[in-house]
Amino acid sequence: MGNVRDLTERELETWRGFLAASTLLTRRVEQRLKDDAGLSHAQYEVLARLAAAGGCLRMTELAGAALTSKSGLTYQVARLAEAGLVDRRSCAGDDRGVLAFLTDRGRAALRAAAEGYSALVRAEFVDGLTEEQFSGLRKGIQALCAHLDNAGEPVGPPA
C-alpha cells in the first residue's frame, strides 16, 4: 500500500465525512418527502426538474437532469404518471421521443412538498454552519463539480 501517494488522514476523513453526510442527508430528505407528500426523492427531483424546465422535457434530458439512468427514469415517470402528476406525450417531430409533461396536479404536489423540503435542507444543510463554513463548503463543492464535469459526464446545478 502507499505506492503512489496515499490519501492523507485529513483527505480520507474528509471523504468519509462527505459520504456520511450525503448518505444521512439523503435518507432524511427521503423520509421527509415520503411523510409530507408521499414522494420519493427521485420523484421529487423529477418534478422539480420538469418545473425548472418550464414543465416539459424529453425523457433523456430529464434523466440527465435528475441524475438517473434512462431505465430508472422510465420507471419513475411511470409511477408519477399513475399518480397523475405527470403526463407522457409523444414528441412532435420525432416519433421516437417521449415528453414528460408536468400536470397541474404535479405542480401542486411539487409546491406542497417544496415547503418541507426547503425547510429540511435549511435545517440540516445550511443552518448549523457559520457563514464562513458554508462559504467554504460552497466554493469547495463548486470546484468539485467543475472538476467532475471535466473528466466525465455533466454534473451539478445546470446553473
**Residues within the interface to DNA (CB under 7 A):** 27, 31, 40, 42-43, 58-61, 68-79, 88, 91, 94-98
Q: Which of 18, 84, 89, 108 binds a second copy (CB under 8 A)?
A: 18
Round to whole Å and give the CA distance between 89 and 100.
6
Indicate the residue among 2 and 54 with the shorter CB distance to DNA.
Answer: 54
CA-based radius of gyration for the chain: 18
Round to whole Å and give the CA distance between 70 and 67.
9
- Show the cell assigned to 97: 421521443
DSSP 38: S
**Residue 74 CB, nearest approach to a second copy (Å):** 18
Point out which residues bind a second copy (CB under 8 A).
Answer: 1, 3-7, 10-26, 28, 67, 111, 114-115, 118-119, 121-130, 133-148, 150-153, 155-157, 159
